[in-house]
């Protein structure tokens, strides 16, 4: 059994900096883990382990990698790992993470995620909170495949762990200024305060501002801009050698006007003065500007008590957010329809687990989990006079109060028959109780939405989710495994589609995952390779669609009977010399609906169609270079390229709503002090200024209209960083 080494923090040695700047995420500048043996430490199985001890497809990226790559927001990670696609849709709310072909539409607050996102071990219940500034992180981990045994419900496709930095051993400050085109200005500052070995604290703040990529020709406003402020802290107390307390807190305020849509096809308005002239000119003609306001905060207390046989950990957390958005739904200068969603959510969670010491032949962990979530939401639409129904603006509202209570117990054991062969087994029992109170206030004549009195619906689900893997370690630095795992995504209600005669209820979703994999590090840590082959078989797959019901855009949720996804993944890193790091990541995916009959109210059959936002090929190539110029100054450079093949934006596989293969390139180059006390770097993203869609769909008001959202154009700037 390998014992993980502590992560090296010495910034005075260029050779170690060369090792630390590995495999950076594809679109953002990174794409796979840091591969030097002294930094491959992950907590994917809720204990610190070498990545070579984890019998699963895990990737990890360190703080240095994020910095070298210039990652600042979640959308920078869009094509980070093999068979992983992250799409923010240029929005703070509609963040979709797709792993191995499985994702979920996050628009409806009654629908759970398919990928679990955890910040410092705390589950983020709603995707509305995910797309925030990425700053002051110690590590990002992505675990592909269902993680129901250790992480629980709604990790049916995988899990993402974001781990923030803790205070260091010495007091100090650091900061960064980033200036770019579109009048972009980003500021970052952090301070470590070390009173003694028992009391330490870290405080950090990040501000991001940027003009919009899109102009509204009617109002003159910039859309798709950035206006965000975030802060976090961590206080570490160690009153005794056996007890450590970590109190964390964070907040974020965002007033970015993101989410505007270009007209891809003008439909019946083609050739009229109301038609949008060009589908990719980043000019829209809307009578109403897109609005997105979000405020969130949270705090947690982690207590680690070291006992003779292991560590008892308690993690108590509270999270809260408010959200409001509104957008033009006819996408023209006409005042026909606009809509938005308001949300007010809070959750409290408690996890208690015991993690044994690593034994010669056996080690284990077990624990329990509780989550209570309350969410009040309203879907508001305003019917404009240009729709021809009413002489003045007329609002309609759908109200839903959702309450979710979750309980779980879990356990995992690792048994080693000898130095080479072992087995890892885990199991979890989960129970989810959901309750929705629904009502609506329709328009006066009920032309688009009738008024409905309050109605209470509730359901309860409980499931067992096991996993098991057979492990072979032919050498100390190699692992071969074969595994099975089962995932579970709870059932629920499509909160905005409930009517007096229809509960809009859907069933749980399940997956069985079969996987074989291998990973190894050799040449004294200069080379790392990992590969995996997988087969996922889904039943009752939950599929969300936006359809036009009586002229009103309505989200519906149904259970596709069966879906299957299989593929291959490869990640590799090579450090030929201390000054150069090269990385590659590739994924192949074949995902389709096996049986999806009656997919729409008109009886369409989507059986055999490809899964949405699931490209068959994902590839990233990247490299880092650091060469001393003098005794005090180094030349630093980074370049990366990512490619993803054609993907479909809806399960109908409509050829109008497809994005063909896209290749993107990013570069960074500059100078840094040998001791990393300062750096000056020039950077450029989307080097070739490629136009590509991050969403395409049918309009909901204008017949024949088609809309799209575009990815970021070429951006460039300079970054100054200092540490003291």
Cα-to-chain-centroid distance, residue 253: 19
Domain presence at residue 229: yes
Residues 6+ apart with CB under 8 A from 695: 87, 89, 261, 649, 708, 709
Q: How many domains does the chain have?
A: 1
396: domain CATH number is: 2.40.170.20
Q: Which residues pair with 194 in a beta bridge?
A: 200
CB 425 within 8 A of CB 518: no
pLDDT score recorded for residue 547 = 56
CA dihedral 46, 52, 57, 59 (to 10 degrees): 80
Count CB atoms within 10 A of the CB of residue 522: 12
* C-alpha distances out from residue 399 to 134, 419, 437, 438, 494, Å: 33, 59, 8, 6, 12
CB 465 within 8 A of CB 430: yes
pLDDT score recorded for residue 128 = 76
pLDDT score recorded for residue 61 = 83
Domain presence at residue 472: yes
- Secondary element (H or E) of residue 137: strand 137-144
pLDDT score recorded for residue 31 = 35
How many residues comprise the chain? 724
Domain presence at residue 313: yes
pLDDT score recorded for residue 30 = 34
CA dihedral 349, 399, 495, 442 (to 10 degrees): 180
- Secondary element (H or E) of residue 410: strand 394-416
pLDDT score recorded for residue 106 = 66
Domain presence at residue 122: yes
Domain presence at residue 5: no
pLDDT score recorded for residue 557 = 73
pLDDT digits (tens, 9 = 90+) for 65-103: 888 888 887 777 766 789 998 887 777 777 788 999 988
CB 638 within 8 A of CB 623: yes
Tokens 């590969």 found at: 531
Domain presence at residue 1: no
Domain presence at residue 164: yes
Cα maximum dimension of the chain: 80
- Secondary element (H or E) of residue 493: strand 492-493
Q: How many CA atoms lie within 13 A of 484 on its CB side?
A: 6
Q: How many CA atoms lie within 13 A of 571 on its CB side?
A: 32
Predicted TM-score (pTM) of the model is 0.90
Low-confidence residues in the chain, pLDDT < 50: 1-38
**Domain span including residue 406:** 14-723
pLDDT score recorded for residue 499 = 84
Instruction: Please tell me what DSSP assigns to residue 712.
Output: P
Domain presence at residue 2: no
**Residue 20, φ and ψ in degrees, nearest 5:** -75, -20
pLDDT score recorded for residue 548 = 55
CB 200 within 8 A of CB 194: yes
Count CB atoms within 10 A of the CB of residue 592: 20
């Amino acid at each position: 059994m390998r014992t993980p080494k502590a992560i090296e923090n010495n910034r005075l040695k260029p050779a170690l900096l060369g090792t630390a700047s590995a495999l950076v995420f594809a679109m953002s500048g990174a794409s796979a883990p840091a591969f030097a043996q002294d930094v491959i430490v992950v907590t994917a199985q809720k204990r610190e382990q070498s990545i070579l001890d984890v019998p699963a497809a895990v990737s990890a990226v360190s703080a240095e990698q994020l910095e070298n790559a210039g990652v600042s927001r979640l959308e920078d990670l869009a094509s980070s790992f093999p068979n992983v696609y992250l799409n923010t849709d240029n929005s703070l709310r509609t963040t979709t993470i797709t792993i191995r072909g499985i994702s979920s539409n996050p628009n409806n607050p009654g629908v759970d995620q398919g990928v679990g996102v955890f910040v410092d071990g705390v589950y983020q219940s709603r995707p509305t909170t995910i797309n925030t500034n990425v700053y002051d992180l110690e590590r990002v981990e992505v675990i592909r495949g269902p993680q129901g045994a250790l992480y629980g419900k709604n990790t049916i496709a995988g899990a993402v762990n974001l781990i923030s930095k803790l205070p260091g051993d010495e007091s100090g400050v650091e900061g960064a200024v980033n200036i770019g085109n579109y009048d972009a200005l980003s500021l970052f500052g952090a301070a470590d305060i070390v009173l003694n070995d028992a009391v330490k604290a870290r405080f950090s703040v990040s501000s991001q501002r940027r003009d919009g990529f899109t102009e509204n020709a009617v109002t003159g406003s910039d859309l798709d801009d950035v206006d965000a402020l975030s802060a976090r802290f961590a206080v570490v107390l160690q009153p005794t050698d056996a007890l450590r307390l970590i109190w964390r807190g964070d907040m974020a305020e965002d007033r970015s006007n993101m989410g505007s849509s270009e007209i891809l096809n003008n439909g019946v308005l083609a050739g009229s003065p109301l038609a949008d002239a060009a589908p990719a000119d980043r000019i829209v003609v809307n009578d109403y500007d897109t609005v997105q306001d979000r405020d969130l905060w949270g705090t947690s207390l982690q207590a680690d008590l070291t006992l003779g046989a292991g560590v008892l950990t308690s993690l108590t957390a509270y999270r809260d957010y408010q959200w409001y958005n509104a957008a033009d739904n006819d996408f023209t200068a006409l005042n026909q329809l606009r809509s938005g969603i308001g949300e007010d959510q809070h959750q409290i969670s408690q996890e208690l687990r015991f993690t044994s010491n690593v034994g010669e032949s056996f080690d284990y962990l077990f624990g329990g989990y509780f989550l209570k979530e309350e969410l009040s939401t309203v879907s508001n639409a305003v019917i404009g006079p240009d729709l021809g129904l009413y002489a003045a603006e007329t609002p309609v509202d759908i109200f839903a109060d959702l309450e979710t209570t979750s309980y779980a117990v879990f356990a995992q054991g690792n048994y080693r028959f000898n130095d080479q062969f072992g087995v890892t087994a885990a199991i979890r029992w989960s129970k989810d109780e959901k309750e929705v109170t629904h009502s609506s206030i329709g328009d006066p004549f009920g032309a688009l939405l009738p008024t409905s009195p309050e109605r209470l619906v509730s359901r309860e689900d409980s499931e067992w989710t096991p996993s098991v893997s057979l492990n072979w370690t032919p050498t100390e630095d190699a692992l071969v495994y074969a595994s099975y795992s089962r995932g579970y995504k709870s059932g629920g209600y499509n909160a905005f589609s409930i009517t007096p005669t229809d509960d809009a209820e859907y069933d749980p979703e399940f997956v069985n995952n079969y996987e074989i994999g291998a990973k190894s590090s050799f040449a004294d840590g200069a080379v790392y390779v990992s590969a995996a082959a997988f087969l996922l078989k889904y039943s009752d797959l939950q599929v969300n669609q936006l359809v036009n019901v009586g002229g009103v855009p309505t989200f519906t949720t149904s259970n596709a009977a069966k879906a299957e996804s299989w593929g291959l993944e490869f990640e590799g890193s090579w450090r030929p010399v201390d000054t150069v790091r090269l990385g590659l990541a590739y994924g192949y995916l074949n995902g389709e609906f096996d049986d999806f009959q009656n997919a729409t109210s008109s009886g369409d059959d989507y059986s055999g169609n490809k899964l949405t936002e699931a490209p068959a090929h994902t590839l990233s190539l990247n490299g880092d270079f650091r060469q001393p110029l003098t005794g005090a100054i180094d030349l630093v450079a980074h370049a990366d390229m990512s490619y993803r093949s054609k993907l479909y934006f809806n399960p109908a596989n409509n050829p109008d709503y497809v994005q063909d293969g896209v290749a993107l390139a990013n570069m960074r180059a500059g100078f840094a002090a040998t001791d990393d006390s300062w750096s000056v770097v020039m950077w450029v993203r989307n080097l070739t200024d490629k136009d590509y869609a991050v969403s395409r769909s049918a309009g909901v008001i204008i017949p024949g209209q088609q809309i799209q959202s575009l990815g970021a154009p070429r951006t460039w700037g300079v970054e100054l960083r200092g540490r003291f």
